[in-house]
Amino acid sequence: MPLLLLAILVAMPVLDIYATVRLAEALNVPGLALFVPGLIFGVLLMKRESRTLRSQFVGAMQSMALQGLVFDSGRRMLAAVLLLFPGFVSDLFAVFLLLVPNRSLPQAAAASVQPGSNTVDGEFRRVD
Protein backbone atom coordinates (compact mmCIF):
# COMPACT_ATOMS: atom_id res chain seq x y z
CA MET A 1 0.00 0.00 0.00
CA PRO A 2 2.76 2.55 0.79
CA LEU A 3 4.42 1.74 -2.55
CA LEU A 4 1.16 2.40 -4.36
CA LEU A 5 0.82 5.76 -2.63
CA LEU A 6 4.42 6.61 -3.50
CA ALA A 7 3.81 5.60 -7.13
CA ILE A 8 0.76 7.87 -7.30
CA LEU A 9 2.68 10.78 -5.74
CA VAL A 10 5.48 10.37 -8.28
CA ALA A 11 3.22 9.71 -11.27
CA MET A 12 0.98 12.76 -10.82
CA PRO A 13 3.68 15.43 -11.35
CA VAL A 14 5.21 13.41 -14.20
CA LEU A 15 1.85 13.16 -15.98
CA ASP A 16 1.19 16.84 -15.28
CA ILE A 17 4.52 17.82 -16.86
CA TYR A 18 3.80 15.57 -19.84
CA ALA A 19 0.36 17.15 -20.31
CA THR A 20 1.89 20.63 -20.08
CA VAL A 21 4.54 19.84 -22.70
CA ARG A 22 1.87 18.42 -25.03
CA LEU A 23 -0.28 21.53 -24.51
CA ALA A 24 2.72 23.76 -25.27
CA GLU A 25 3.30 21.84 -28.50
CA ALA A 26 -0.36 22.16 -29.45
CA LEU A 27 -0.33 25.92 -28.76
CA ASN A 28 3.05 26.27 -30.51
CA VAL A 29 4.64 28.09 -27.56
CA PRO A 30 7.84 27.26 -25.65
CA GLY A 31 7.27 24.86 -22.77
CA LEU A 32 8.73 27.26 -20.22
CA ALA A 33 6.03 29.78 -21.11
CA LEU A 34 3.56 27.53 -19.29
CA PHE A 35 5.85 26.59 -16.39
CA VAL A 36 7.35 29.93 -15.35
CA PRO A 37 4.17 32.00 -14.67
CA GLY A 38 2.83 29.36 -12.27
CA LEU A 39 6.13 29.25 -10.43
CA ILE A 40 6.31 33.04 -10.12
CA PHE A 41 2.71 33.39 -8.92
CA GLY A 42 3.20 30.47 -6.51
CA VAL A 43 6.21 32.11 -4.88
CA LEU A 44 4.44 35.48 -4.66
CA LEU A 45 1.30 33.93 -3.18
CA MET A 46 3.31 31.91 -0.65
CA LYS A 47 5.21 35.03 0.50
CA ARG A 48 2.04 37.10 0.74
CA GLU A 49 0.10 34.45 2.59
CA SER A 50 2.87 33.70 5.08
CA ARG A 51 3.16 37.42 5.91
CA THR A 52 -0.55 37.98 6.42
CA LEU A 53 -1.17 34.69 8.19
CA ARG A 54 0.63 35.78 11.37
CA SER A 55 -1.40 38.96 11.82
CA GLN A 56 -4.68 37.23 10.92
CA PHE A 57 -3.96 34.40 13.32
CA VAL A 58 -3.34 36.78 16.23
CA GLY A 59 -6.58 38.63 15.48
CA ALA A 60 -8.50 35.39 15.17
CA MET A 61 -7.13 34.09 18.46
CA GLN A 62 -8.27 37.27 20.21
CA SER A 63 -11.77 36.95 18.79
CA MET A 64 -11.77 33.14 19.19
CA ALA A 65 -13.01 32.64 15.61
CA LEU A 66 -10.58 30.37 13.79
CA GLN A 67 -12.85 28.39 11.47
CA GLY A 68 -12.97 30.85 8.57
CA LEU A 69 -9.31 31.78 8.96
CA VAL A 70 -8.09 28.19 8.93
CA PHE A 71 -10.20 27.29 5.91
CA ASP A 72 -9.27 30.35 3.86
CA SER A 73 -5.60 30.34 4.77
CA GLY A 74 -5.24 26.61 4.22
CA ARG A 75 -6.95 26.88 0.86
CA ARG A 76 -4.65 29.70 -0.27
CA MET A 77 -1.54 27.88 0.97
CA LEU A 78 -2.60 24.72 -0.88
CA ALA A 79 -3.14 26.82 -4.01
CA ALA A 80 0.38 28.28 -3.61
CA VAL A 81 1.87 24.80 -3.30
CA LEU A 82 -0.04 23.63 -6.38
CA LEU A 83 1.25 26.65 -8.30
CA LEU A 84 4.79 25.71 -7.29
CA PHE A 85 4.39 22.23 -8.79
CA PRO A 86 5.42 22.21 -12.43
CA GLY A 87 2.50 21.66 -14.74
CA PHE A 88 -0.59 23.23 -16.20
CA VAL A 89 -3.16 20.90 -14.63
CA SER A 90 -1.99 21.64 -11.07
CA ASP A 91 -2.13 25.35 -11.93
CA LEU A 92 -5.76 24.95 -13.00
CA PHE A 93 -6.58 23.30 -9.66
CA ALA A 94 -4.80 26.16 -7.86
CA VAL A 95 -6.80 28.77 -9.76
CA PHE A 96 -10.00 26.90 -8.89
CA LEU A 97 -9.03 26.98 -5.19
CA LEU A 98 -8.33 30.70 -5.41
CA LEU A 99 -11.70 31.40 -7.05
CA VAL A 100 -13.67 29.87 -4.16
CA PRO A 101 -15.23 32.74 -2.16
CA ASN A 102 -13.76 33.58 1.23
CA ARG A 103 -15.62 32.72 4.39
CA SER A 104 -16.32 35.62 6.72
CA LEU A 105 -15.91 35.70 10.46
CA PRO A 106 -19.08 34.96 12.44
CA GLN A 107 -20.90 38.14 13.43
CA ALA A 108 -21.16 37.22 17.12
CA ALA A 109 -17.41 36.77 17.49
CA ALA A 110 -16.60 39.87 15.45
CA ALA A 111 -18.98 42.02 17.53
CA SER A 112 -17.21 41.25 20.83
CA VAL A 113 -13.92 42.82 19.70
CA GLN A 114 -13.75 46.62 19.82
CA PRO A 115 -12.00 48.12 16.77
CA GLY A 116 -8.71 49.82 17.63
CA SER A 117 -8.62 48.21 21.06
CA ASN A 118 -6.44 45.46 22.49
CA THR A 119 -9.15 44.24 24.88
CA VAL A 120 -11.88 41.66 24.45
CA ASP A 121 -15.11 41.88 26.43
CA GLY A 122 -15.81 38.90 28.62
CA GLU A 123 -16.43 37.60 32.13
CA PHE A 124 -13.89 36.33 34.61
CA ARG A 125 -13.86 34.76 38.03
CA ARG A 126 -10.97 35.05 40.44
CA VAL A 127 -9.78 31.74 41.83
CA ASP A 128 -7.62 32.00 44.99
Q: What is the per-residue pLDDT across 79-115, written as a single tens digit (0 to 9) for each?
A: 898 888 888 888 888 999 889 887 654 444 444 445 5
Total residues belonging to the chain: 128
pTM: 0.65
pLDDT digits (tens, 9 = 90+) for 20-55: 889 989 999 888 888 888 889 999 988 888 877 777
DSSP state of 124: -
Residue 125 CA to chain centroid, in angstroms? 40
For the chain, the domains span 35-111
Q: Where are the beta strands (DSSP E) in the chain?
A: none
